[in-house]
Amino acid sequence: MAKYLVTGAAGFIGRSIAAALLARGESVRGVDHFLTGKRENLVGLEAMEFVEGDLTDPVVCAHVCSGVEIVFHEAALASVPRSVADPIATNRNCVDATLNLLVAAREAGVRRVVYAGSSSVYGETPTLPKHEEMLPAPITPYAVAKLAGEHYLAAFSRVYGMENVTLRYFNVFGPHQDPASHYSGVLAIFCRKMLAGEQPTIHGDGAQSRDFTYIDNVVAANLLAAAAPGEKVAGRFMNVATGSAISLNQTFDLLCGLTNYKGKPAYGEPRSGDIKHSLADIRLAKELLGYAPQVDFAEGLRRTVEWYRNAQ
C-alpha cells in the first residue's frame, strides 16, 4: 500500500519528488495524464506504482488516494501564457482537479496534502522581497487558479482537520524540465538552445529578475513539509525559493560560460502577464520547516547545463 501519492508525477517537479521518495525507500504512487508530462520522465521511477489518470475525474481521485497518508500535489496546467490563451483549461486542471483531489483525500483519510503553490499569486506589486503577509494580487488566470487551490487547502484544514500545507515556489529549474515547449521555464529553453549553438530570445529588455530555485531545494522543502509537526504547519502557506534574484541578462552571461555559446541574445516583445521582478522572503519556511536552500543558483545552473548536455 502506497504511503505517498505524487500527482503530476510525469512532470518536472512531481517526478523529482517521487525520485527522492523512492531513493529513501518509500512506497510511492504517482498519477498523471500526460497533459504536459512526459513518459520519459518516468524512467528511473519503475519502483513507483503509476496510475495514468485525470484528476478532473473524481473516480480517479478516489482510486489514487486510497490507502495514502501524504499527498504531494504537483499536477496543474503550469503555465501563465497557456492560462492567458485558455483560462477554462487552466481552471479545470488546477482548480477542479485540486478540489476533486481534496474531497477524495479527505474521504480516504489522507492526513496531509502538500500543495505546489506559486509566487504568481503575489502579482506585480512592487514590494520586494515578497513575503507571506502581503495580500495576494493575482493578475493572470493561472495565478488566480493557483491561489484558489491554496485557499481550498487551508479551508480543508480548517473545516475537516487536514494538515494541508502550501509551498509557494519561485521559478523552479533543473534536470527534466521540458525545454521543447513554448511554455517552458526560461532556463530550460536557454540551456537547450545555447548548447545547440542557437540564439535564445529574451522577452523584454532582460533586466527582469527572478528568484530562480534549483529543483533539489524544492524537493527538500517538500520532504520537510511532509514531516513537519501538524500543529506548526496545518493550513499554512510559505515561500520556497533561494532568497536572491538574478536578471535574465546576467543569467545569459553565466550560461555563455557554461555552454560555450559565443553569440548575443535576441530581444523580443515582453510576454503578456509576465512580471518585472520576483524575489522571495524565505524566513517563514525556515521558521516553520527548518528550510534553507542547499544548492545556490550558480551550482544549480552548472548541474542543469550538465544534464541537458548529456540528454541532447
Ligand X SMILES: NC(=O)c1ccc[n+]([C@@H]2O[C@H](COP(=O)([O-])OP(=O)(O)OC[C@H]3O[C@@H](n4cnc5c(N)ncnc54)[C@H](O)[C@@H]3O)[C@@H](O)[C@H]2O)c1
Residues near ligand X (CB under 6 A) are 8, 10-14, 31-37, 54-56, 74-78, 93, 97, 116, 118, 146, 169, 171-172, 185
Q: Which is nearer to ligand X, 137 or 199 (CB)?
A: 137
Whether residue 141 is preceded by a cis peptide bond, meaning omega within 30 degrees of 0, is no
Cβ 171 to ligand X shortest distance, Å: 5
Q: Which is nearer to ligand X, 85 or 263 (CB)?
A: 85
Q: Which is nearer to ligand X, 80 or 162 (CB)?
A: 80
φ/ψ (deg, to 5) at 256? -60, -45
Cβ 201 to ligand X shortest distance, Å: 19
> Which grid cell sits at 22?
523512492
Cβ 44 to ligand X shortest distance, Å: 15
Beta strands (DSSP E) in the chain are: 4-7, 28-32, 49-52, 70-73, 112-118, 165-169, 172-173, 201-203, 209-210, 213-214, 236-240, 246-247, 266-268
Out of 115, 142, 152, 261, which one is annotated catalytic?
A: 142
Q: Which amino acid is at 74?
A: E
Catalytic annotation present for 183: no
SS3 label, residue 40: helix
Q: Which is nearer to ligand X, 97 or 219 (CB)?
A: 97
Task: Please tell me what DSSP assigns to residue 260.
Answer: T
Per the rule left: phi > 0, alpha: psi between -120 and 50, beta: everything else, 297 is alpha
Q: What is the maximum alpha-carbon separation in the chain? A: 57
Cβ 264 to ligand X shortest distance, Å: 26
Catalytic residues: 142
